[in-house]
Structure 1
Amino acid sequence: MRTIPPALAERLAGAATTLATCFVARLADGTVMGFTDHDRTLMVDGVACEPASGFDRSVAGRGADFAVGEEEIAGALTSDRITEADLADGRWDGARVEVHLVDSSEPEARMPVRTATLGEAVRADGAFRAELRGPAHALGQPIGRVFTRTCDAALGDARCGVDLSTFTTAATVTAVDAAGRITVAGAEALPERWFAGGTATVTAGPRAGFALAIADHFPEDGATVLVPWRAPATPLEAGTALALVAGCDKRFETCRDRFANADAFRGFPHMPGQDFVFSYARGDGDDDGGVLF
């Protein structure tokens, strides 16, 4: 049962209410932003929640399971702090959103309504709509290991153990074409597809920390071309400094030959496949499991 603070309860018991909803968004990069559906700025925990942002909140729905739920927030891209490029580039992905019910005439009289994580954001015609995922949503996600022939560790994590600094190359953007392909200088000595499945991270300037997943990499006219999985909404400019991390396709051969890390391989390369499952004993077969006697 939710306890309503006395100051807010007193306001709710009055003949008229002056309620507003405030949203405090805490992005993964440390940026904190405040928004409200009221017509003037309201302060919540020292955060200025700005009006006229187009932010709105839907009716909240709950289920007995761990589904995302029916609550969402929506808004127009009218605030200078919410841009379509930031949404497209994933800057808002996973942001922590705190929803507060506030008495606009006395913002100190408020009640936290919900804390959630910003989920999928849909953008169209200068507006956006995003779902709010509650803490229980994490309990509905699959956990544990998956038994496959390929590795289920992330390159460079504690289970993998590869030192990424050894496989990181400094490069500089020289051009970006209309298809989003990025030409860089500084990685010409590396073989084709070395960075396929890897990442390119901006290391300096206003976009420092912005990362792209690389789908393919190949040489062209003496330069190195990177093909991102998804082209950024705002193309990288020529001269942008990048840190390129080698890609890993999760195969045992790659782990052994490229990273010399076979002992830490987290897959099961000799696991029988579907052909074994549907096989049967034959009179002319060895049927010895491959064991030599």
Structure 2
Amino acid sequence: MSIDSDFHEHLKSVCTTTCRAWAVTRKDGVQLGFTDHDCDLEFDGIKFRADTGMTARAVQSSTGMAVDDSEAVGALNSAAISERDIEFGLYDDAEVRAWWLNWADTRQRQLAFSGTIGEIERSEGTFRAELRGLAERLNQPRGRVYQKGCLAKLGALECGVDLEQLGYNAEGVISSISGETSFSVSIDGTFENRWFERGALHVLSGEAAGAQVKIKSDRQVEGTDDRDLQIWSAARRRLRIGDSVKLYAGCDKRFDTCRIKYRNGANFQGFPDVPGDDWMVAVPTSSSTLSGGSRR
């Protein structure tokens, strides 16, 4: 890490006035600043607050392609970072920059870390956030994967389906609850059985307002417009009878589903004609069936 010449001279002096500062930029554009100094600091148009209880472990850097390693620790303070914001994923993959600087002259500073927030752990009113360096992205797969199923996320740009159009969503209220992950929703309109399976449920009101959960199963209650739903994991906040929700249709990533349910076959992001494993390891046989199943 090269150091600014003025800052370098300051570090060589008998008495130094150094501290650390961090800037966090969330996906929604909100930018927050923190420092371990005992007074607020400001530079680059960012105010770095000293009253947040934030600390950070020193960055561990190495040569080669090793990933920089660090973490931030702090108290869940509603005026800075709240538990609710973490629950709703506002800090997932947020950009982080950390400086080592002279608090007496903030022009003397050095960028020590640049990366993103990884896994966040919460416990008894505090949080611990993993900081991932830029080299972390080199560990992520790039390019296309050849497989039968679609690789696009339903509703994303590469998919092209508009989930806000009529027929792909429905609003309603929770009418009964049978468990943390099982409940019934009364909606307007009639939809096919399992229409919302693998889709999403957005909570619009109540204690859990803003929460988004994935739908594991969806069954229409016979003779009514109610749906019996099961979600993969419980919402962070408790769902209650009367909460308003919005359901979005789901997709099982099959070509027929894309073509028939969404009329979107031209944008299918999979390879439905790729042979399966059974075909690739097939050997000559007198049987006409090469599905891998029993020939009896």
Same fold (TM over 0.5): yes
Q: Is 102-111 or 248-257 further displaced after alignment?
A: 102-111
Query: How many residues matched?
Result: 286
Q: 1:260 aligns with which of 263, 268, 289?
A: 263
Q: Deviations over 1:240-278 (max 9, x none)?
A: 654432111101221122112233322233332222233
Distance 1:248 1:41 in 2: 49
Give the match's secondary structure for 1:164. coil
For 2:105, the equivalent position in structure 1 comes to 106
Distance 2:59 2:33 in 1: 20
Q: Is the 8 A contact 2:23 2:33 kept in 1?
A: yes
Q: Give 4+ residue runs of structure 1 displaced > 6 Å after superposition.
A: 203-209
Structure 1 residue 210: deviation in Å?
Answer: 5.2
Quick one: structure 1 residues 77 and 161, their matched pair in 2 at CA, closer, same or farther if it must change by over 3 Å? closer
Quick one: structure 1 residues 273 and 43, their matched pair in 2 at CA, closer, same or farther if it must change by over 3 Å? same
For 1:228, the equivalent position in structure 2 comes to 231
For 1:192, the equivalent position in structure 2 comes to 193
Distance 2:19 2:184 in 1: 49
Q: Mapping of 1:120-269 within 5 angstroms?
A: 120-166=119-165, 167-174=167-174, 177=177, 179-181=180-182, 183-201=184-202, 211-220=212-221, 222=224, 223-235=226-238, 242-269=245-272
Runs of at least 5 residues in structure 1 that lack an aligned partner in the other structure: 289-293
Distance 1:17 1:224 in 2: 66
TM-score with structure 2 setting the length: 0.81
Q: Is the 8 A contact 1:68 1:132 kept in 2?
A: no
Distance 2:208 2:43 in 1: 29
Structure 1 residue 183: deviation in Å?
Answer: 4.4
Q: Is the 8 A contact 1:22 1:36 kept in 2?
A: yes
Q: Is the 8 A contact 2:67 2:134 kept in 1?
A: no
- Give me the CA root mean square deviation: 3.2
1:80 aligns with 2:83: no
- Aligned-pair identity (%): 34
For 2:294, the equivalent position in structure 1 comes to none
Q: Which amino acid aligns with 2:283?
A: Y
Distance 2:209 2:147 in 1: 36
